[in-house]
Amino acid sequence: MKTLRFGIIGCGLMGREFAAAVARWCCLTDIDTKPEIVAICSRRGHAFPWFTNNFSSIRQVTTDYAEFLANDAVDAVYVAVPHHLHQPIYCDVIGAGKHLMGEKPFGIDKAANDTILESIGRHPECFVRCSSEFLFFPAVQRIGAMIEEKAFGTVLEVNCGFLHSSDLDPQKPLNWKRNIEFNGEYGCLGDLGMHVYHVPFRAGWRPLNVRAILSNVVAERPDGIGGRAPCTTWDNATLLCEMRDPVTGSVFPLTMKTERIAPGEKNTWYLEILGTRASARFSTKNANMLERLEYEGREQTWQRIDMGHETAFKTITGAIFEFGFSDAILQMWAAYLHEFAHGNRLSPFAGCATPEETRLQHALSTAALESHRKRELITVL
Ligand SMILES: NC(=O)c1ccc[n+]([C@@H]2O[C@H](COP(=O)([O-])OP(=O)(O)OC[C@H]3O[C@@H](n4cnc5c(N)ncnc54)[C@H](O)[C@@H]3O)[C@@H](O)[C@H]2O)c1
């Protein structure tokens, strides 16, 4: 078993999710490379004890980011920090010659993303990917295989989205994720967009144009220190795109929703593909179930398939057992380590988001902002 020595910058929610995946690495049965956390860096020290109490491999604990980057014992870095820090930190990590797993949206805006991609271009020795885990749910892997096999025939329509209700309560205090300075103008598109775009982009479908409607539902929130503050990021977005499938040359509508104020939805990622020969549907609301319809000229029958633990990267978990968020995170990290070690993906859909896919994400999200501002259809690619 080879080891890739990791440092983490940003020891918040996602920094801990990565560490928990590392702790569960023994669940993976067929992988020949493992991550080891050797260094952690965060703005404040209060997050450190959870890491140091649980990971004896950690040798460096610092709030000094320059000191962290100078550590030769760190081969690769997971950076999970607010969006305004993506560009400076990702570029510094790559500039220090370290491999990078960045978080979405991979730059607070298109200019930041362009700068990160230029930095990657100057350092081809660095392996760089962007986090996006919903692709690894077994049903989504199965849909990916259907796309690879061209099972859908001509794609007629795609509906996809990511719905939260975390901001339904107008009294929920503002945090960095609702502040345009730290989270960016994209708002919900930056937070949730990459998760939704990932499958269509990986399928090779490209957005020709977009008409977007964005909503800022709660324009002011408690600031958490006794006052109130403006909340200027977009809460909800609906995008209607004309997509082109380069395989068949067909052009079809794709509707995408990213919403932080979606009543009744906690963390619902969904995907529906309707085609002339087959159709498929999945939602994390019913995470074990894939719905599939195959049309061969006779009855049109939706099948419901319980997916169990049919994962891209094999695990000790029994095949009948259900799959969840932390399993998807583990699979995503397995995909990163596999692609790093072998130079290729296990399969086209068993791979983390690429820098090029983040570029497409920014092209589409930037066009969506313009579309809403002008109330017009905007050309994307
Ligand atoms: N893949 C996913 O499902 C998913 C889910 C949530 C968030 N995210 C992404 O992860 C990233 C972080 O989000 P989070 O929810 O973990 O945020 P968080 O607020 O929980 O954690 C951010 C951490 O960054 C640290 N930090 C801030 N400035 C820093 C600096 N200059 N140097 C070092 N550390 C610094 C903070 O102290 C904090 O510990 C964002 O890009 C977000 O979009 C991804």
Tokens standing for 64? 């000094």
Q: Which residues contact 380 (CB under 8 A, 6 or more apart)?
A: 206, 207, 208, 209, 210, 241, 363, 364, 367
Phi, psi of 357 (to 5 degrees): -65, -30
Q: Is the CB of 81 under 6 A from ligand 1?
A: yes
Architecture of the domain spanning 2-130: 3-Layer(aba) Sandwich (3.40)
As a 3-state breakdown, the chain gives helix, strand, coil percent values, each rounded to 5, of 35, 25, 40
Find out whether 154 and 275 touch, Cβ atoms under 8 Å: yes
Instruction: Report which DSSP code applies to 58.
Output: -
What would the pLDDT profile of 317-335 be if each residue is shown by its tens digit? Answer: 999 999 999 999 999 999 9
Tokens standing for 14? 């996602």
Cα distance between residue 116 and residue 75, in whole Å: 19
Q: Where residue 178 falls among pLDDT bands split at 50, 70, 90? A: confident
Tokens standing for 172? 């929920």
Q: Where residue 125 falls among pLDDT bands split at 50, 70, 90? A: very high
What would the pLDDT profile of 205-241 be if each residue is shown by its tens digit? Answer: 999 999 999 999 999 999 989 999 999 899 999 999 9
What would the pLDDT profile of 29-40 be if each residue is shown by its tens digit? Answer: 999 999 999 999
Q: Which one, of 374, 370, 365, lies nearest residue 83 by Cα?
A: 365
What is the average pLDDT across 16-33?
98
pLDDT at 350: 98
The residue behind tokens 């510094």 is 92
To the question of pTM greater than 0.95 for the whole model, the response is yes
Tokens standing for 24? 């569960």
Closest ligand 1 atom to Cα of 83:
41
E-strand ranges in 42-154 read 60-62, 76-79, 99-102, 128-130
Tokens standing for 164? 């939260």
Length of the chain counted residue by residue: 381
pLDDT at 298: 86
pLDDT at 381: 83
Taking the domain 135-318+354-379, which CATH number applies? Answer: 3.30.360.10
Bridge partners (DSSP) of residue 39 are: 7, 60
Tokens standing for 381? 């690619």
What would the pLDDT profile of 337-357 be if each residue is shown by its tens digit? Answer: 999 999 999 999 999 999 999
Is the bond into 105 cis (omega within 30 degrees of 0)?
yes
* Test site for ligand 1: of 8, 18, 42, 65, most ligand atoms within 8 A of the Cβ: 42
What would the pLDDT profile of 52-71 be if each residue is shown by its tens digit? Answer: 999 999 999 999 999 999 99
* Test site for ligand 1: of 13, 135, 352, most ligand atoms within 8 A of the Cβ: 13
Q: Is the CB of 85 under 6 A from ligand 1?
A: yes
pLDDT at 295: 94
Q: For residue 108, report the distance from its CA to the centre of ligand 1, in Å.
A: 13
Residue intervals in the chain for CATH 3.30.360.10: 135-318+354-379
Q: Which H helix or E strand runs over 195?
A: helix 188-202
Q: For residue 145, report the distance from its CA to the centre of ligand 1, in Å.
A: 32
CA distances from 282 to 170, 236, 259 (A): 30, 21, 18
Q: Is the CB of 182 under 6 A from ligand 1?
A: no
